[in-house]
């Protein structure tokens, strides 16, 4: 079935709203969606009530789904490739924050793997009446806005990315022996090149803990400077969720974070999520 869709930019540099898409027309509309994803890097698919199978098939059009999840669900079990992110405890009751605070820090998904994720898809299942915002930051525009001398300084540097570092700094707890064993530190370019567009982007976030070969104090100062610059409001889009929204974004060039701007002990926020496997950054 053919269906005309419209793609409208959300900000001057990234993000677009997609209207007119229906579950039965996703396949026919995929070439246009794929081009829009490459161009805008964040797509807000409005009023698209996909079931779990349709959601999975859409994500798989971008590539294989990620199956390696170290962080456990609220019931202690490992997450499946398609899973729920929710403020509910193991008994299904509203809980203030069962997953801790990690989602409220700027990050890109699976950055601590040798092959960080390509994309994430997030679908609104239940949302609070207001709030529950998700923010995104454009790492390509941030890199291009750096002073030429700073770009020259960082262009060839590699950084270390660590899941245990995130646990210590964001969740304020020591990693378990299993977490340390399953997530050895990796290093990636601090400025990575997008494999499809060739565009350069900063690659920072909560997993980024050091710069290879740089003294710790200098390394921490530089990373803090870059992160503060990259998440300046001029590079940020704040998404106010609507019922049936489905977002898909490019982890290779965008940071994201949840915002604790609603009463988590009162209102449900249930999101369906999956992550698409990526490639080794260059």
Domains of the chain: 6-276 (3.60.130.10)
Q: Distance between CA atoms of 224 and 245, rounded to whole angstroms? A: 33
Query: Quick check: is 75 catalytic?
Result: no
Catalytic residue from among 41, 109, 165, 250: 109
Asked about 239 being catalytic, the answer comes back as no
User: Is 151 an annotated catalytic residue?
Assistant: no
Residues 6+ apart with CB under 8 A from 104: 257, 258, 259, 260
Distance of CA 165 to the CA centre of its chain: 18
Instruction: Determine whether 273 is an active site residue.
Output: yes
pLDDT at residue 76, as a whole number: 55
Q: What is the pLDDT of residue 280?
A: 97
User: What is the per-residue pLDDT for 48?
Assistant: 95
- Out of 40, 41, 107, 113, the active site residue is 107
| Residues 46, 108 contacting (CB under 8 angstroms) | no
Catalytic residue among 256, 257, 269, 272: 256
Tokens of residue 27, six digits: 């396949």
Q: Which of these is catalytic: 40, 113, 257, 273?
A: 273
pLDDT at 101: 78
Residues 6+ apart with CB under 8 A from 212: 157, 158, 159, 160, 187
What SS3 string covers 3-36? CCCEEEECCCCCCEEEECCCHHHHHHHHHHHHHH
- From first to last of the 282 residues of the chain, give the pLDDT tens digit: 456 799 999 999 999 999 999 999 999 999 999 999 999 999 999 999 999 999 999 999 999 999 876 655 555 566 789 999 988 887 788 876 655 678 999 999 999 999 999 999 999 999 999 999 999 999 999 999 999 999 999 999 999 999 999 999 999 999 999 999 999 999 999 999 999 999 999 999 999 999 999 999 999 999 999 999 999 999 999 999 999 999 999 999 999 999 989 988 889 999 999 999 999 999
List Cα–Cα distances, 273 to 52, 77, 122, in angstroms.
Answer: 10, 16, 5
Would you say 104 and 222 are in contact if contact means Cβ atoms under 8 Å apart?
no
Residues facing residue 107 across a β-bridge: 256
3-state secondary structure 98-116: CCCCHHHCCECCCCCCCCC
Strand intervals (E) in the chain: 6-9, 16-19, 42-45, 83-86, 119-126, 134-138, 158-161, 186-189, 191-193, 200-202, 208-211, 236-239, 246-250, 254-258, 270-276
- Which of 190, 243, 249, 245 has the alpha carbon at shortest distance from 219? 190
């Amino acid at each position: 079935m053919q269906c005309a869709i419209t793609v409208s930019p959300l900000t001057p540099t990234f993000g677009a709203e997609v209207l007119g898409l229906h579950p039965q027309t996703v396949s026919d509309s995929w070439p246009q969606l794929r081009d829009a994803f490459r161009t805008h890097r964040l797509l807000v698919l409005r009023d698209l009530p996909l079931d779990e199978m349709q959601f999975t098939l859409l994500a798989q059009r971008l590539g294989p789904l990620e199956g390696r999840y170290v962080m456990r669900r609220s019931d202690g079990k490992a997450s499946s490739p398609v899973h729920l992110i929710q403020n509910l405890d193991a008994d299904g009751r509203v809980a203030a924050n069962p997953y801790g605070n990690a989602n409220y820090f700027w990050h890109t998904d699976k950055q601590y793997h040798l092959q960080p994720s390509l994309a994430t898809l997030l679908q609104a299942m239940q949302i609070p009446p207001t709030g529950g915002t998700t923010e995104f930051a454009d790492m390509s525009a941030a890199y291009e806005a750096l002073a030429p001398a700073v770009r020259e300084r960082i262009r060839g540097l590699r950084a270390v990315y660590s899941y245990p570092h995130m646990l210590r700094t964001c969740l304020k707890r020591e990693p378990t022996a299993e977490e340390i064993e399953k997530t050895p530190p990796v290093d990636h370019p601090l400025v990575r090149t997008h494999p499809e567009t060739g565009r350069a982007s900063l690659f920072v976030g909560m997993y980024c803990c050091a710069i290879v070969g740089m003294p710790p104090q200098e390394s921490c100062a530089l990373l803090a400077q870059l992160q503060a610059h990259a998440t300046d409001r001029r590079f940020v889009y704040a998404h106010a969720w609507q019922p049936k929204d489905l977002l898909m974004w490019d982890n290779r060039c965008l940071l994201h974070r949840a915002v604790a701007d609603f009463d988590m002990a009162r209102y449900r926020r249930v999101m369906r999520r999956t992550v698409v496997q990526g490639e080794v950054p260059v």
